[in-house]
Amino acid sequence: MKLPVIKHLTQFIEDNDEDFVIETIETLEALTEVPSLKDEELDVIGELISNMYGAIEVNKMVKEGTPKKDALNSFMKRVMGSIDT
């Protein structure tokens, strides 16, 4: 996951609507079923999906009252903590 991408997607959700990102996730998930995709292509799609889910999670925290910067930092700390474990 990349913080700049999640930050950009979070801004996109604020400016537009979360539904756009959810529908994009569904589209990308459907694409992963194409049998001719290479592992590298699946990795890229997976990274995009992860960043989009991250942005949705950050947006949820912001809606609950967490300042955006704190929500982004908190989310990334959770991600890094789960990687270290």
Residue 72, Cβ neighbours under 10 Å: how many?
21
> If the chain, 85 residues long, is cut into consecutive pieces of 10 residues, what is the mean pLDDT of each piece?
93 96 98 96 96 96 95 89 64
User: Six-digit token pair at 63?
Assistant: 């809606």
Q: What is the pLDDT of residues 1-24, one digit of tens each?
A: 889 999 999 999 999 999 999 999
pLDDT computed for residue 78 by the predictor: 86
Contact 9, 22 (CB under 8 A): no
pTM of the model: 0.88
Residues in the chain: 85
> Could you please report the per-residue DSSP string of 49-81?
HHHHHHHHHHHHHHHTT--HHHHHHHHHHHHHH
